[in-house]
Structure 1
Amino acid sequence: MEGVVPDAIDHVPSSKITVVYSGGKEVEFGKELTPTEVKEQPTVSWEANPEKLYTLMMVDPDAPSRSNPIYREINHWLVVNIKGSDISTGQTITEYRGSRAPKNSGLHRYIFLVHEQPGPITVDNPDLASERRNFSSREFAKKYQLSLPSAGNYFQAQWDESVPLIR
């Protein structure tokens, strides 16, 4: 798991999130994808109870690099109040942003996590939409009383000159 446990989560989720990018490129645990392949928002699904609400997070715990993660974590995508696994029913807090690892920073892990919610939540931090650095998936889950991650997946990516770095 490339250190995903304990860098971002405390245990391995019991099921897999299926993540598919355009062109049919599917995320497989820890495989490397290019920033170009993950530029657009993917389709995502997981085993879910259609009557329950879920939160989906995508984070990079390796910013600016795995050896010096001073901005751990970067919030790449955050959607709450998803009914079942139908993301279109959820509220997007942070718009999707694909991988944009800094030059010479090595491989970064991009982790997808799903948490079951105890009920509808109202996110009271307006800065989440603009300030992506120093996000904590653990603290977010604790604050909103989310379950431990029930599903997960991740890929790795590194610098690619064809995709500009955006801060």
Structure 2
Amino acid sequence: MPRAALNPLVVGKLIGDVLDMFVPAAELAIGNGCEIKPEKPRLRIGGSTGSPNYDTLLMVDPDAPSRSAPTLREWLHWLVIDISKGSDASEGRELMPYIYGASATDQLSSAFRQHGLMETVKRRPVERSLFNAGQFASENDVGLPAAALYFNSQKQASGNKKH
């Protein structure tokens, strides 16, 4: 991935505040189309044949509940470990089930390469608020991210849809 692809992460202060600077080693693809829905997204983590066989996925709102008052930063939307290489994230072991962000939200999905199956999890999260992605990665020895994807979603002002 070219260096310019990291710019939104740097400009949004996600590199430094949430994730350490990293060199992308995988591709993270999300499949919900252009509409964010209450169902968990289809998320696939790609990688080269020489990369480890398992991944960890973290999906957080880096500045919950709002950019102007991030008192719950980071809000954990989804945490999945032991995702087999090339599989959909929902096929891994969920440590925190997916929860839909009901309001306007920023979401950061990051994939970490595991060294093998994660037999034990140090400090398994019990709450969603005040989660620390970097601390979780460090404590569980998954290292720097291999890929990250950031987006902002907003409710539409008109229409009766509740997505």
For the criterion TM > 0.5, the same-fold answer is yes
Match of residue 41 from structure 1: 40
Structure 1 residues 142 and 51 mapped into 2: Cα distance closer, same or farther (>3 Å)? closer
2-structure distance, mates of 1:90, 1:11: 26
Structure 1 residues 67 and 16 mapped into 2: Cα distance closer, same or farther (>3 Å)? farther
For structure 1, the residue ranges without an aligned partner over 5 or more in a row are 27-32, 102-106
Match of residue 133 from structure 1: 129
2-structure distance, mates of 1:100, 1:40: 12
Structure 1 residues 71 and 115 mapped into 2: Cα distance closer, same or farther (>3 Å)? same
Match of residue 18 from structure 1: 29
1-structure distance, mates of 2:85, 2:110: 14
Matches within 5 A, 1:152-167: 152-158=148-154
User: Displacement, 1:7?
Assistant: 2.5
Number of positions where the alignment pairs a residue of Structure 1 with one of Structure 2: 145
Match of residue 115 from structure 1: 112
Match of residue 85 from structure 1: 86
2-structure distance, mates of 1:76, 1:13: 24
Match of residue 70 from structure 2: 69
1:3 to 10, 13, 16: 13
Structure 1 residues 89 and 51 mapped into 2: Cα distance closer, same or farther (>3 Å)? farther
- Residue deviations 1:19-41 (CA, integer Å, cap 9, x gap): 011xxx05xxxxxx5xxx23211
Match of residue 3 from structure 2: none
For structure 2, the residue ranges without an aligned partner over 5 or more in a row are 1-7
2-structure distance, mates of 1:51, 1:148: 14
User: Displacement, 1:61?
Assistant: 1.0
* TM-score, L = length of structure 2: 0.76
CA-based RMSD: 2.5
Matched-pair contact (CA < 8 Å) for 1:40–1:98: yes
- Residue deviations 1:46-70 (CA, integer Å, cap 9, x gap): 2234851110110001112112212
Q: Give % identity.
A: 29
**Larger RCO: Structure 1 or Structure 2 (Cα < 8 Å, ≥ 6 residues apart)?**
1
2:97 to 95, 98, 102: 95
**Bigger mean CA offset, 2-11 vs 68-77:** 2-11
Structure 1 residues 149 and 51 mapped into 2: Cα distance closer, same or farther (>3 Å)? closer
Match of residue 60 from structure 1: 61
Structure 1 residues 89 and 40 mapped into 2: Cα distance closer, same or farther (>3 Å)? closer
Structure 1 residues 160 and 100 mapped into 2: Cα distance closer, same or farther (>3 Å)? farther
The amino acid across from 2:101 in the alignment is S
- Residue deviations 1:116-160 (CA, integer Å, cap 9, x gap): 1122222254553xx100101000000000021001112112457
